[in-house]
Each structure stands twice: as C-alpha cells, then as structure tokens.
Structure 1
Amino acid sequence: MANNAGYDVVVDVDDDDGDLGHTDLADLEFHQSNYNADQASGKIPSNQNRGFFNSGSGSGTARSEPTGKRYLWSLDFYAQFFDVDTNEVMKRCWAALWPKAMFLDVLEDRPDLYGPFWITTTVVLILFLTSTLSHYFARMKDEPYSYDFGLLSGAAGLMYGYTAFIPVALWGVLKWYGSESAKLLECLCLYGYANLIWVPVAIASASPITILNWVFVGIGFGVSALFLLRNLYPVVSATDAKTAKILLIVVVVLHAALALTVKILFFQHGSPVKKT
C-alpha cells in the first residue's frame, strides 16, 4: 500500500463486530486524494521549505530571511549595520538636531552605521571646502592663493578618528565598570549623528568675521555636547556615582577639544595658529 502515492485508504468496519482484526480485505477501497494539489497550492506547507525564520508562521508563505550564520569576514555581517532607508535616516538626523525625545528611543534598538558614516564624510568635505574659502578670504590681496590639500587629510583623520575611537574607548570603560546597558553600536551611532551639527557650523564659519566664527563653533559644541550628555547619562549612570561623574566630564572635555581643534586648524584667521 505504501507505493500508492496520492491515494487515501478507507476501511469499512463491521458495526456488529467492531473488530478491525476481522475486517474483510475486499472492503478496502482507494479514493483520489488532494494532498499533492494542496501542497502545491501552499495550503499545506512542505517541511523541506521550512527554515528557522519561517517555521510556525501559519501563513503558508515563505520568508526570505537568511538562515545562515554571519561571519566577521563576510559582507553579510557588515550589511546588517547599513540596513536603513532614507526616511529612517532623515528621522534620526532630525532627532539629533532637534532632540524632543531620547535618541536611543528613536533608534528603537536598531542602531545603524550608514548615517554616521555619511554624516562624518560630509563633515570632512565641508570642513575642507569652507576652510579653503576661509583661507582664501583671509589672504593678502597681492598674494597668490595655493590650495592646501593637507586640510582634507587632516579633516578625515580628525573626524573619523574621533567618531570611531572615542565611542569604542567609552564603551570599553563602561564595560570595565560593569555597565550592562552599554552597547558598542549604539555608542558609535550616537557619536556619528552628533557630528551633524558641524555641517551648518562649518558652512557658517567660512565668514571672515572672527567673532562670528567663535560663536558658531561654540553653538555647535553646545548643541552636540548636550545631545551626547542627555543620551549618555542613563548609560553612564549604571556605574557608581563617582565614575559616572568623571566619565561625563571626560566626554565634555574631549568634545570641547574637538570643537577647539576644528576652529584652530580649519578657520585660522584670527586664531592662535598661523600659516608661515
């Protein structure tokens, strides 16, 4: 009977005896089964198509999520950190500039590296362009101007280094002191979106008016520092009070050093550093 695929076996049992052991083999009948048709139409899910992510969904439709492991040396491992759309990135950018809610709540446990990478890259390019204009306006009228492409490498080293190493170091210190809520990707995302304020600051600082440049840099420092402190405080406060206070002070000091470096290196007219 096992070779008759696609058929159901119907057994007629004698009502009087009620004993399957005395059933007449002549009463066995074969009826056409709809099992194969139902399986092809998706009404009955096939066990071969079931994976870790789609088993037990009950909808009969297979999902396309990968079931394999993501290894550190594979592109799939890094692609998951860039899985955001434009609307989501714009929402996070607006939350960084106008922080009505906690930024970590806006992330919804889905931090990304796409926004931080392109924001930092944009800051690097804007710093180079605006500092070039600033130097051009500050030169003597009778002096020929020559472009300094070392500003581009300096901006890249400063912004990429600060955005990458400071969050990693902060996360490592928090883990050392036993903070369970500290997450590396969230720290990187937080510092990356905090760089967004430097785009309008760098554009405004192309002005040859020195006092305005200091005001714009001060505003950029204040907005970004408050953004960092507001979102880092719940994570840092998981440590003891003294350690949390020291860490917050270090965060502010390092951020102030970044703002001062941006002003001195890229908008040099009226600053302590002069080109020889």
Structure 2
Amino acid sequence: MSGSGYDAVVDIDDEGDLGHTDLQDDLEFHNSNFSETAPALGGRGGGRKGGGGPSQSSGSGLPLPATASSSSGAGGKRFLWTLSFYAQFFDVDTSAVLSRCWAALFPRANFLDVLEGNPDLYGPFWIATTVVLILFLGGTISEWRSSTGGGSFAYDFRLLSGAAGLVYGYTFVVPVALYLALRYFGSESANLLECWALYGYGNLVWIPVAMVSWSAITILNWVFVAVGFGLSVAFLLRNLYPVLSATDRQTSKVLLILVVALHFGLAIAIKVLFFAHGSPLKNGGKLVGEPDKPAQMF
C-alpha cells in the first residue's frame, strides 16, 4: 500500500504478538509526504526542499559536482595564456584524424563537411612534422648515395632546418594570409582554423612523395613531384572554391591564381632542395670534406 501514497500503521502488543490483531479493524492509513526530500548531508542551515536551490537541476536533491559548472559562465572563459585555450584546437580523437586523412587522400565530399564544424590543428601539425622528417631523411640518403670516396659522411642538418622552414611556413603562414585577404574582400564564410586544416591535411600527399626523395632517377623524381602537386592542388581548389567565390568574380580569380602559384612554388622547392643530389642547402652542393666541384642540381 505504500506505493499508493499511504503509510501502514500496525498496533503490536508488548510481546510482539500479532496473532490477535484484526487487520481489518486495527490498520490505520495516514497521508504520506513523499514529496519532501531528506535533509542534505553536511548542509548548513538545515535541509533543502526539492523544489528550490541550485540543486534542482541535479534531480536528486544533491548539489551538482564542482566540475559541472566549471565549463560555463565565468569559469568557461579561455585566455591566450592558458593551456585550455590551445587545447580546444587539438580536441580530436584518433579515429577522427584517420577519417580526415582518408578524406584528404580520397576526396568524395567537401572536406569542410568532413570537419563537421570542428577543425583541428592536431592532424595538420603532425602531418607537417612527418613531411619535414621524411624530407630530411630522404635528402640525406640521396646525398649519401651520391657521395664518392672513402671519407666519412657528414650529416648536414641545414636540410632539416630548411625542410622545417619550408613546410611549416607554407602550412601555417599562407592560410593566415589567405584568411586576411578573404576578410578584407568581404568574405563572411572565411575561417582561419578551417584554412589551417585544409592546408595541413592537404600536405598528406607529400608524405609518400617525400619517401622517394632519395631516388637518383631524375625523371622519376619529376613524375612523383608532379603527381603530388596535382593531387594536393586539386584538393585545395575543390574545397577553397566555395569560400573564394564568396568574393567578387575578379577577386576570386586572382586568389585562385595565387593559391595555385604558391602551391607550385612549394612543389618546385621540394624538388630542387630535396630531390637533387646537389641541394643548395648543402655547402655549395658538395659534402663536407670533399674538394670543390660543380653543384649537380638534378
């Protein structure tokens, strides 16, 4: 009967004998007050009623956890000097990064739709870092293969600094310039994080290209670089065109030409600096300890 909103009260004698009790006559029913909650544990000033106070949203009469309100209001503000401000740009899991990499290599839909309004910097950063390291290793192997004589081979870490400056500069500086240009010409759909994500994931094709940068076959090097350029620039144009077309027709054409020209410059720089035995990043095109000789660019 307690489920019907009543308390059952039974009279029991001193010896605890119910044998003589007539349940029909001795049972009394009283109105129950189940709507009132028990006093909160450790609360000051007595218990709280279920209908008031900040604990109402918890549904159990208990106050919300301390972390429940930390992400809203004044506690949810992120400042430039806090790690939480930068952590929001890396808020992505491995499966999401892999799916975005797959969508960049085999595009079937607009990449901005794949991002689902959550562009990240995790994928672009590690993709650019991988390209830098492979270019350095490939360029070093290429120089080692082309070296002659029995002298020891000396690494030139200017290949590493050159690859870092080229890849990081192109991936993170060019999108900023493009974003500022779009905002200047009145594009309301321009988003800096999306530009970084497009250029970052667009570099994915350079990983397999950089893995063959040690090849001594000149024509094969040109073919690989041309394929990398074609796939990556097609990815950029396909996804940037809706954003660039938000400006007037003449401006969008100029911006498209600049995007292609800058990407072509990246491809040529990769070919000349890392796919050639006599890279200009080396000491005049020669290895340390070798006699002076003409630089072999290709």
TM-score range, shorter chain: 0.7 to 0.9
Aligned to 2:15: none
Letter in 2 for 1:214: W
Aligned to 1:275: 285
- Partner Cα separation in structure 1 for residue 197 and residue 265 of structure 2: 20
Aligned to 1:258: 266
Q: What secondary structure, in the 3-state scheme, does the structure 2 residue paired with 1:179 have? A: coil
Aligned to 2:185: 177
CA contact (8 A) 1:138 1:269 kept: yes
Give yes or no for the alignment of 1:209 onto 2:209. Answer: no
Pair 1:66–1:153, CA change in 2 (3 A): same
Pair 1:33–1:112, CA change in 2 (3 A): same
CA contact (8 A) 1:210 1:269 kept: no
- Partner Cα separation in structure 1 for residue 269 and residue 98 of structure 2: 28
- Partner Cα separation in structure 2 for residue 55 and residue 173 of structure 1: 48
Deviation of the 1:137 alpha carbon: 1.1
Give yes or no for the alignment of 1:118 onto 2:126. Answer: yes
CA contact (8 A) 1:39 1:45 kept: no
- Partner Cα separation in structure 2 for residue 45 and residue 125 of structure 1: 62
Deviation of the 1:248 alpha carbon: 0.4
- Partner Cα separation in structure 2 for residue 83 and residue 115 of structure 1: 11
Larger relative helix fraction: 1
Give yes or no for the alignment of 1:97 onto 2:102. Answer: no
- Partner Cα separation in structure 2 for residue 176 and residue 238 of structure 1: 12
Two-structure CA RMSD over aligned residues (Å): 2.9
Aligned to 1:155: 163
Pair 1:80–1:264, CA change in 2 (3 A): same
- Partner Cα separation in structure 2 for residue 142 and residue 216 of structure 1: 32
Letter in 1 for 2:285: K
Give yes or no for the alignment of 1:72 onto 2:80. Answer: yes
Pair 1:212–1:49, CA change in 2 (3 A): farther
Unaligned residue ranges in structure 1 (runs of 5+): 1-28
CA contact (8 A) 2:278 2:285 kept: no
Deviation of the 1:74 alpha carbon: 1.0
- Partner Cα separation in structure 1 for residue 285 and residue 260 of structure 2: 29
Q: Which has the higher mean CA deviation after the structures are superposed, 170-179 or 61-70?
A: 61-70
Give yes or no for the alignment of 1:240 onto 2:241. Answer: no
Give yes or no for the alignment of 1:88 onto 2:96. Answer: yes
Aligned to 1:35: 36
Normalising by structure 1, we get a TM-score of 0.79
Deviation of the 1:271 alpha carbon: 7.4
Pair 1:113–1:272, CA change in 2 (3 A): closer
Deviation of the 1:45 alpha carbon: 8.2
CA contact (8 A) 2:58 2:64 kept: no
Aligned to 1:48: 54
Pair 1:38–1:130, CA change in 2 (3 A): farther
Deviation of the 1:47 alpha carbon: 4.2
Aligned to 2:8: none
Pair 1:235–1:49, CA change in 2 (3 A): farther
Letter in 2 for 1:181: S
- Partner Cα separation in structure 1 for residue 180 and residue 58 of structure 2: 38
CA contact (8 A) 2:175 2:192 kept: yes
Deviation of the 1:233 alpha carbon: 0.2
Deviation of the 1:163 alpha carbon: 0.7
Deviation of the 1:143 alpha carbon: 5.1
Task: Note the 1:182-197 alignment, pairs <5 A.
Answer: 182-197=190-205
User: Post-superposition, which runs of at least 4 consecutive aligned residues in structure 1 deviate over 4 A?
Assistant: 29-34, 37-40, 44-47, 60-65, 270-274
- Partner Cα separation in structure 1 for residue 209 and residue 261 of structure 2: 19
Q: Identity of aligned pairs, percent?
A: 59
Q: What secondary structure, in the 3-state scheme, does the structure 1 residue paired with 2:171 have? A: helix
Aligned to 1:130: 138
Larger Rg: 2
Aligned to 1:167: 175
Deviation of the 1:61 alpha carbon: 8.7
* Residue correspondences, number: 239
Deviation of the 1:156 alpha carbon: 0.8
